[in-house]
Amino acid sequence: MADTLFPTTVIGSLPRPEWVREIILDRKNGTISEDEADRLLNPAIESALRLQERCGLDEVTDGEWRRESYVKIFAERVRGFKPDLIGTQWQMAYPAVVEPLEYYRPLTLDEAVFARQRTRARLKIALPAPYIVGRRMWHPDHSRRAYPTPEQLMTDCVPILRQEIGQLHQAGVDTIQLDEPWLSTLVDPKFREREGFTDLQYEMDLCVDLINQVVDGFDALDIGMHLCHAHFNYAHGTEGPYDVIMPALGKVNVGTISMEYATPVAGGMASLAQFPDGPRLGLGCIDHCDRNVETPETVAARVEQAMQYVDKQRITLHPDCGFSPSVQNPVDLDHAYLKLKSMCQAADMLREKHG
């Protein structure tokens, strides 16, 4: 991607048609087998790939149309979790770890192999990072017997993710993205108070150290990290500019750091003045929570604003976040298509102007 000016990608998920959502939930509930679910989902995922190619994206995913959510995929494929024990602010239940982890099958390798065989575009696969697994799926009432602290759960996630990354590399995946939204949500004091976080520096250092443990030694791979303010049904869960976490981002050993900047809740682009010198900036330039479809001119203007802080050669264009990180998130697929198409048209305009 570094050879292309203003390359375009997606963060991960596309909105799932209702029938796809039903298949995923039927599989979860055991009313259809995993093999039958795959048989039904395979042609749907091919259509998700064609949709992204039609938009003109330089890099695609499979839409994450086999997953219940971006982070629950870890609990689905690693033994030790019990589903639907932890409630959230959006009335979605999350698994809780109840036994020591056992990595008995790949997390995303099958979806990567399927997609790799069906697109010539660059392929990205997203994985949940250790910190989000520990913070999202450790619960004091359910998890202490297996893991006395969430940090111990996070530590056990590291070798699992490293093994997965090695397999994805062998399968021909071009980019691996580690999803770590909670590092971004930490900028919101109300969120920190709600979650009981009293030592922000400790949380940031822990998150960064875990990421660096996961990526250590994978120097030949294009590995990125994604941060966001979390969202459901076109609304964000937290808000605030990123100034407080920028020093921590300078310690992360990844090639790209992808962040939300199109949404007003990110507080504008002034925080990019502190963006680290090493990694590429994955610039969120499409607001997935805005029901209006941005024009290419609007998107291009956002990118040019970011260029005041980060050189054009280091900027990748993408939406603020995945359009539908979970099956339960009700977002329209046509809405996402039109936004992605506008983003790709903006990239063409920028290349013509600045190339």
How would DSSP label each residue in 320-346? SS-S-SBTT----HHHHHHHHHHHHHH
Per-residue pLDDT band for 232 (boundaries 50, 70, 90) equals: confident
How would DSSP label each residue in 277-318? SSSEEEEEEE-TT-SSPPPHHHHHHHHHHHTTTS-GGGEEEE
**Model pTM?**
0.96
Instruction: Round to whole Å and give the CA distance between 216 and 213.
Output: 5
Q: Is the dihedral of CA 348, 321, 76, 134 positive or negative?
A: positive
Cβ(220)–Cβ(174) under 8 Å? no
pLDDT digits (tens, 9 = 90+) for 67-123: 999 999 999 999 999 999 998 766 678 999 999 999 999 999 999 999 999 999 999
Q: How far is CA 177 from the centre of its chain?
A: 7
| Arithmetic mean of pLDDT over the chain | 95
Instruction: Round to whole Å and give the CA distance between 186 and 229.
Output: 9
pLDDT digits (tens, 9 = 90+) for 156-206: 999 999 999 999 999 999 999 999 998 999 999 998 999 899 999 999 999
Cβ(286)–Cβ(343) under 8 Å? yes
pLDDT digits (tens, 9 = 90+) for 125-154: 999 999 999 999 999 999 999 999 999 999
Beta bridge partners of 235: 232
Asked if the model's pLDDT at residue 350 lies above 80, the reply is yes
φ, ψ of residue 243 to 5 degrees: the values are: -55, -40
pLDDT digits (tens, 9 = 90+) for 12-49: 999 999 999 999 999 999 999 999 999 999 999 999 99
Domain covering 18-354 in this structure, CATH number: 3.20.20.210
Q: What is the chain's alpha carbon radius of gyration, rounded to the nearest angstrom?
A: 19
Instruction: Round to whole Å and give the CA distance between 14 and 269.
Output: 26
How would DSSP label each residue in 38-59? HHHHHHHHHHHHHHHHHHT-SE
Asked if the model's pLDDT at residue 1 lies above 80, the reply is no
pLDDT at 89: 63
